[in-house]
Structure 1
Amino acid sequence: MNTAFEVVPTAAAWTKGWTLTRGKAAPVSQPYGYKIDLGVPECLERHAMVDYDTGVVRALTDRLHTVALDNAAAVAPDGYQLSLSTSGAVSDAELRDVNGELAARGRVAHSDGVATFDQTAAVIA
């Protein structure tokens, strides 16, 4: 049993296993860790960082449509219904249109002062 936790080999093994379980292309080594090309419109790629670097995070997130996160209450745009649920450290959000059709969803886990977003997707009609 390996008692020493080494970040880089662990990240390499995890990203390879994750891509295998999801049927995706092998992870691509990057200076910051690994990039996983998903190739679907609602989620083009994922990134696994082996060390936190604000410059890398900024460069990756600058490519995304972003909104400021603060402690303000979440409000749905006109014509949409927002539902939020939280269980432990994980929160889920769903946004539905006037017909009740799913428009977007997302999940966030809060741990050690960090918010990790996953399974975030907009439904493209």
Structure 2
Amino acid sequence: MFPEGRGVRCGRSRAPPDRGRATPPRRNTLHPPTPITYAEVVVDGLVRAWVDGWVLSRGAAPPVVEPWGRTIDMGMAQHVTRHVLSATGDQVEETTVRKVADAVTGTGVWLKVFAEPSRVTPWLGEGWWVDPEPGCLMSTRLGTHGSPAATPLPVPDGYRLRTWSSGGVTRVMIAAPDGSFAARGQIAPTGTTAVVDQMETSPDHRRRGLGTLVMHTLTRSALARGAEIGVLGGTPDGRALYESLGWRVEAPLTSARSTGRS
């Protein structure tokens, strides 16, 4: 359980739990009773929330529960299936990673492990490509940083913002003055948590506040649907923006794709 103001930086493992405190019984943190406090959502609950929100956001098959985490079928040539391990940081075990990785023989299968690539890569063996830019699992208490969530942010002159919802997912697009793509993002609420996904800003339109505008608009939508905690899988490019908006790193994230065995 993470107290207020604490998190895990990319590249560093989580601090060990306070052995002097009694460990509360495990409970369902994905749909806890309201009201909740931020510290009540422990990291393993964030992993489950991220999986459920990602599945909704991408239109993937319902996750299959495994002893070590979740398996999700995506059905694309370069993204057939993904295996997400539920353990994080120091709790990630070499034997588990090797067991899951060794069972994969085909191409296009992804493995998501919440640990540093320097630890995970040697465990994967032959036939795996590891993303050289490690990500992070990040979270925030929605609507508590920066401008009040109830107040829309202004759209920069000449830009056009469009918001729409379909299948439980809200999407935001910003078009440039000439009509070309400028920025986008989407959010998938699942109960009291909501997963931010597909955040992107065109290189030609960065440093103009568009990413902040997209995130703020998504946050307002999720709050209106009862979400309280935001979760996302951050990239190195996006991490600075998210941290400036009050998000914090909870665990490192290694992404690996099966390329097949020779």
TM range (shorter): 0.5 to 0.7
Asked whether the equivalents of residues 84 and 92 of structure 1 are also in contact (C-alpha less than 8 Å), the reply is yes
CA deviation profile, 1:40-71 (whole Å, cap 9, x unmatched): xxxx7353xxxxxxxx736xxxxxxx865723
The residue that corresponds to 2:69 in the other structure is: 9
User: Computing the radius of gyration over CA atoms, which structure comes out larger, 1 or 2?
Assistant: 2
| Map of 2:5 onto structure 1 | none
Change (3 A) 1:84 1:38: farther
- Structure 2 CA distance for aligned equivalents of residues 27 and 88 of structure 1: 25
Cα distance in 2 between the residues matched to 1:95 and 1:7: 42
Structure 2 unaligned blocks of 5 or more = 1-63, 72-81, 86-100, 121-129, 205-262
Which structure would you say has the larger RCO, counting Cα contacts within 8 Å and 6 or more residues apart? 2
TM-score for the superposition, normalised by structure 2:
0.29
CA offsets per residue over residues 72-105 of structure 1, 9 Å max, x none? 3354222211011111320111111110111101
Which consecutive unaligned segments of at least 5 residues does structure 1 have? 48-55, 59-65
| CA separation of 1:9 and 1:67: change in aligned 2, threshold 3 A | same
Q: For residue 57 of structure 1, what is the aligned residue in structure 2?
A: 139
How far residue 106 of structure 1 moved from its aligned partner, in angstroms, is 0.7
| Structural mapping, 1:14-33, within 5 Å | 14=84, 21=108, 27-30=112-115
Question: Which of 127, 147, 165 is residue 86 of structure 1 equivalent to?
Answer: 165
Bigger share in strand: 1
Say if 2:135 is the partner of 1:45: yes
Q: Percent sequence identity over matched residues?
A: 21
Q: In 1, distance between residues paired with 2:148 and 2:201?
A: 18
Q: Secondary structure at the match of 1:105?
A: strand
Compute the TM-score of the two structures, normalised by the length of structure 1: 0.53
CA 1:29–1:46: 2 relative to 1, 3 Å: closer
RMSD: 4.0
Alignment partner of 2:195 out of 101, 116, 121: 116
**More helix per residue: 1 or 2?**
2
